[in-house]
Structure 1
Amino acid sequence: MTYTQGFKSSLVRKMACPNGVSASALSREVGIPQQSLSRWLRDANVVNESGNSPISEAPWRTMSPKRPQDKSAEEKLKIVIEAETVAEDQLGAFLRRNGIHEAQLREWRAMMLSGLQKPSRPSSKTSEETRKIHALEKELLRKDKALAEAAAILILKKKVQSIWGGEDEPTDKRNGR
């Protein structure tokens, strides 16, 4: 059955308000399947930022992605910068509002700082490895050439035997006598 958008939003408001009813209870009350109500609530994806104000006066906004790994680099940077301005006693509420943990905030901060550092000089180990790779490639090329030469010699030997015959055959047969 199709429901109007206004009807859906009124039911979502009933579920999303601070003292809202559960989708199961509302389902029994209005006769709409609980799965539909839960989907509507999930699709609305709303958060009441003021917490205790009435639903009609509450400022509503859509949530940012639920999973921290879904956040873009710009969002992560914005959160890290905002977290620096938040007082220590307010940090927990800030993190909950943004849906992240303190460990993730520290990790993002470290990533931001590591992106600003100068790249370190390549270590001698990498140059050693580069030299070793170059030497192995050179050796491989030399062996490929030797193998190709050996294959060419074998092919020529077979052609010589087919044209002139083998060494074991008497020369009289070759001359037609």
Structure 2
Amino acid sequence: MARKSLPRKSRATRRHAKVEHWRIKVGSADWWSHFFSLPAREDTHRSQLKQSDIMLSRVLILAVAIAMAVAEEPMDLTRVQRGALYIRLPAPYSTAPTQCYDPQIDEYFNEGDVWSSSYSGCKLSTCVDINGILNVERYSCPLVSKGVDFKRLKKENYYCRQAWGNRNKQFPSCCPSLQCKYYVKGKLMPLPKHMYPLL
């Protein structure tokens, strides 16, 4: 029995197949070009993230600088509460007739001046005239317990303790202070300063 020959494809059919094959190649080429363009977009995104990180770091540095400037702002020590007299230093600490001399910081002060330093051992110093002689008087930190309203503390059910200060700082930041907490919705939270049970 003679084998039947398969019908040959017409020229139009072969031409249509070539066009479809060309379209597949173009489509795949477009897909690959899109695929390889992704790293470029990722690099752009990374650069944007890097710029945002730089801006954030600058803002944080500025905030820290402002906080340090505020923290280092000079305090009016004449209005600071002081404790008991620790020591009185006459001559040679008052060798100049009109000024007191503090050898810890190598500076002269006028009568009535009040000062402190990180080298004072957490003492507040002042220049006073006693019987015509200038003296440097140094005062200790005030007792924390003397300024606490214990009745109010018990009534409000506050939890307070005496916290030690930083001895490397000047008076009164180096002094002990009162630290209190209270319950807010079942959680122990820091007590706002204006609510402290102080006399």
TM-score normalised per structure 1: 0.26
Q: Whose strand fraction is larger, Structure 1's or Structure 2's?
A: 2
Higher relative contact order (Cα pairs below 8 Å, separated by 6+ residues) = 2
